[in-house]
Amino acid sequence: MKNNLTALLSQLISIPSWVDKQTNEAQIGIFICNFLTQNRQLKINKQSLGNGRYNLFASNSNQVDNLIVGHMDTVQPNSGWTREPTKPQVIGDKLYGLGSSDMKGGLAVILKLATSPALIPNTGFLFYCDEEYDFLGMREFIKEYSNKIAPKLIVSLDGEGPGIGNSCRGLIEMKVKVRGQAGHAANPKSGVNAITESFVVINQLKTWLKTFKSPELGVSTLNIARINGGSKQGNIIAETCEYIVEVRVADNNLNAKKVKDFIVNQSLTRQLKVDDIIIRHDLGSWITPKRKLLDILNLAPSKNLKQAKKRGYLDVQMLWKSFKQPRIFTFGVGTKNMSHKADEYVQISNLQTAEKFMTGLLSNNGAC
């Protein structure tokens, strides 16, 4: 297997690892497992998730002080691609391919680190599934390993780079089903329109969420990902409405129960009956104080922390919570605004910067 970063990333891109009925992370897991065997000091464990999927945990000691993590899955290719998503192409400083920025570029750097002869002791690597979907891989890893290891430093190479990130907003998602009252559209007062009244509730929710804020993470924000309701006949007042609420949490005083209770109470004031609310995600925020990362920032190419106010949820927050808030930071490899986009690419110079920084951090002369 070629060990050059660009060649290694090209190999990773050529292995589809999105998740649908025909495809998952099984094949890329095989490739990564075989690659890791180059370092004979690594003990490699497979954690089965079913359907051929598994996490890979590799370490050079039973004691794990430093844990480096990366997810193996990508989103599915969208219809806007003008190149073959799994056929990597290099043009200048850009390497095109699905997952190049999110986050197979990071995986390539991690694999180089894991097979380095200068790797410091007590270091572990987690390659996990399902980050882009339902966080199954991270959840199962925590179930098995939260009492087996106690890392003091955790690093994720997910995200845009290059730069140090020390935080992320939380994530709440739920599906809401409400019911009004049908009536004749010619007489609006003859019924309760579940769609228009839901709009009122949604706007009230948006305003209320802004009260949950923090200096580091900004304000909590709302996205209505989907809304549907009513009937096919224009002369009937819409009796039903279903919508999906997604909240980016900037204050850990906010949780799914509070959001659910707010929606229920406001819906009742609009004469809506709540048939069901299904909570999909209830995940908090994470902040590692800057003072705990000063030694890391001294080694980093940029001394400024990346702002989390407009970044997505990062599932290293689960590790931060489960391992009793160790030092955690991200060092993104991806190119700005390229994640999940058609014709996704990563800058090769970003890969090289990340490799240089992480090698310095985890080599025998590094900071850890």
Query: Percentage of residues in the chain with pLDDT exceeding 70?
Result: 98
Domain boundary among 224, 256, 283: 283
Short-list 254, 253, 277, CA closest to 265: 277
149-158 confidence digits (pLDDT tens):
999 999 999 9
Mean pLDDT of the chain: 95
Q: CATH no. for residue 63?
A: 3.40.630.10
Q: What is the mean pLDDT of residues 270-290?
A: 97
129-170 confidence digits (pLDDT tens):
999 999 999 999 999 999 999 999 999 999 887 889 999 999
Are 174 and 164 within one domain? no
- Distance of alpha carbon 99 from alpha carbon 269, whole angstroms: 46
- 332-346 burial, b at 16+ Cβ within 10 Å, e below that, comes to bbbbeebbbeebbbb
Place of tokens 């609310």: 277
69-120 confidence digits (pLDDT tens):
999 999 999 999 999 999 999 999 999 999 999 999 999 999 999 999 999 9
Q: Is residue 367 part of a domain?
A: no
- C-alpha distances (whole Å) from 143 to each of 4, 147, 192 are 35, 8, 46
187-221 confidence digits (pLDDT tens):
999 999 999 999 999 999 999 999 999 999 999 99
Are 109 and 144 within one domain? yes
Are 186 and 63 within one domain? no
Residue 1 has pLDDT above 80, yes or no: no
Q: Is residue 368 part of a domain?
A: no
Are 62 and 184 within one domain? no
Short-list 69, 75, 35, 52, CA closest to 138: 69
- Residue 34's Cβ-count burial label (10 Å; 0-12, 13-18, 19+) is exposed
Q: Is residue 269 part of a domain?
A: yes
Question: Residue 285's CB: how many other CB atoms inside 10 A?
Answer: 24
Q: Which residues are 330's β-sheet partners? A: 156, 165
Question: Residue 292's CB: how many other CB atoms inside 10 A?
Answer: 15
Length of the chain: 368
Are 13 and 127 within one domain? yes
Which structural domain range is residue 328 located in? 5-168+286-362
